[in-house]
Amino acid sequence: MKRRTTLKMTAALALSSMFGGAALAGSHSADPIVIGAVAPKTGPLAGGAAVTHWPNIRLWAEQVNARGGLNVDGTMRMVEIIEYDDQTNPGETIKAVQRLATQDEADFIIAPFATGLNIAAAPIFARYGYPQISVSNITDQVEDLASKFPNMFFTLGSTSAFASDVVRILSEMRDAGQLTGNRIAMVNVADAFGIELAAAARPLFKEAGFEIVYDTSYPLGTQDLSPVVKAAKDAAPNAFVAWSYPPDTFGLTEQAIIEDLQVEAYYTAVATCFPAFGARFGAQAEGILGAGGVNPDSEAFKEYAAAHEAATGAKPDYWASATTYASLQILEQAIEAVGLDREAVSAHLKEATFTTVLGDISFNENNFNEAFWTVGQWQDGVFRGVAETGREGASSVRVKSGWGS
């Protein structure tokens, strides 16, 4: 377990911000608000967290501190972030959250990265009364989890919604003659995320009249995915669907190009939306479908993306980056509304509507945000949302036409 503590603002920058005309209310306190963060910096999911999770925490903390901090009962207080690397290991996630609660005495703890790590840590969040505003946590266990852990919140969507919209898009393509057959090759990472999505998708594909001609899983962290893609190609599918995490999203696509897997629809899940994916595959990425999406033409997203790039030197992804940032905006607004009492913050989360980069977000009786993007597609060098639940600006789907050059 590795620790890194960062106070996100120098005194000089604070003074510069104050005299630069920032509207600051009340007095200032030397005591920061301590916020813990646990996510992979090493292990199989480190690459995904390095794009989606960590940069948005740092961006948010820098922006808050540049404004003079958070207004807590009339006193402006800076935020201090304590970071731990959980090494993509649920046991390390649990230990780090426990340490933040008991030794570091964090005022709040940001939810972990990935479905399995969020579920593993949920009992610790609940034991110490921390609200857990989870982002990278797509599951159909929402009702059960919210019942067991009343302070756990879900922002990114559900397994059924993601699987349903993939099936719906492929059905619409088939009905329009863009998909010339019913044959699906489906693979998944053998992690909570991939297992749940594959289980949800199987009956949905069957109900929609598709035949799954290839269906397999592979362990998280698998380096050689060529056997998976070769076997999928041998099954002669019309569409390829992978419920994948970042390393395998890249690895499967590389092998699909090498094997010249010719399908009319190609879908990989997490990290398809990463700018690095578009940069890595260039014209070959055109038409690839993936999890999530955004409306990249919205002014709010463009403003956020520019700030993200200016602060971190990298572009945000076209999905969960903005949701991660939105989750921190939600925490910020809740703290400024009711203070540092965690029970009061959790209660406020259940009742209020929050203004975020994605638009308004509120939570239903199961602590679930009902407005989210489900499917995106690379179109003309941009990953655009093509399916959503309660969001605006979806683009039309295009056929995947070969692998370009």
Cβ–Cβ < 8 Å for 166, 194: no
- Assigned fold of 159-294+375-389: Rossmann fold (3.40.50)
Query: Which CATH number applies to 2-158+297-373: 3.40.50.150, 2.170.150.20, 3.40.50.2300, 3.40.50.720?
Result: 3.40.50.2300
Other beta carbons within 10 angstroms of residue 90's beta carbon come to: 18
> One fold for both 2-158+297-373 and 159-294+375-389?
yes
* Backbone dihedral region for residue 243 (phi beyond 0: left; psi -120 to 50: alpha; all else: beta): beta
Distance CA 154, CA 327 (A): 10
112: which 2 tokens? 């972990």
**Burial status of residue 177 (CB atoms within 10 A of its CB: 0-12, 13-18, 19 or more):** exposed
Using DSSP, state whether 362 is helix, strand or coil: coil
Q: Are 366 and 347 in contact (CB under 8 A)?
A: no
Q: What angle do CA 190, 196, 199 make, to 5 degrees?
A: 100
How far apart, in whole angstroms, are the C-alpha atoms of residue 273 and residue 268? 10
Q: Please give the backbone phi and psi of residue 57, each rounded to the nearest 5 degrees, phi first.
A: -65, -45
Identify whether the C-beta of residue 133 lies closer than 8 Å to the C-beta of residue 321. no
Judge whether 57 and 118 are in contact, CB under 8 Å: no
- Read out DSSP for 242-298? EE--HHHHHHHHHHHHHTT---SEEEE-TTTTSHHHHHHHGGGGTT-EEE----TTS
- Per-domain boundaries in the chain: 2-158+297-373, 159-294+375-389
Q: What's the token pair of residue 92?
A: 């390390």
Following DSSP, what letter does each residue of 30-58 receive, concatenated? EEEEEEEEEE-SSSTTHHHHHHHTHHHHH
DSSP output for 178-225: SS---EEEEEEESSHHHHHHHHHHHHHHHHTT-EEEEEEEE-TT-S--
CA distance 135 to 289: 21
**Residue 404, pLDDT score:** 76
Yes or no: say if 158 and 184 are a contact pair by the CB < 8 Å rule: no
Q: What are phi and psi of 78, to 5 degrees?
A: -70, 165
For residue 304, the number of C-alpha atoms closer than 13 Å in the C-beta half-sphere is: 27
**Tens-binned pLDDT, residue by residue, of the chain (405 aa):** 665 545 444 333 333 333 333 344 456 777 999 999 999 999 999 999 999 999 999 999 999 999 999 999 999 999 999 999 999 999 999 999 999 999 999 999 999 999 999 999 999 999 999 999 999 999 999 999 999 999 999 999 999 999 999 999 999 999 999 999 999 999 999 998 999 999 999 999 999 999 999 999 999 999 999 999 999 999 999 999 999 999 999 999 999 999 999 999 999 999 999 999 999 999 999 999 999 999 999 999 999 999 999 999 999 999 999 999 999 999 999 999 999 999 999 999 999 999 999 999 999 999 999 999 999 999 999 999 999 999 999 999 999 988 974
Rounded to whole angstroms, the Cα distance separating 92 from 109 reads: 15
Structure pTM? 0.89
pLDDT for 30 equals 74
157's enclosing H/E stretch is: none
Polymer length of the chain: 405
At residue 83, the 3 state secondary structure works out as strand
DSSP string, 390-404: S-S-PPPP----S--
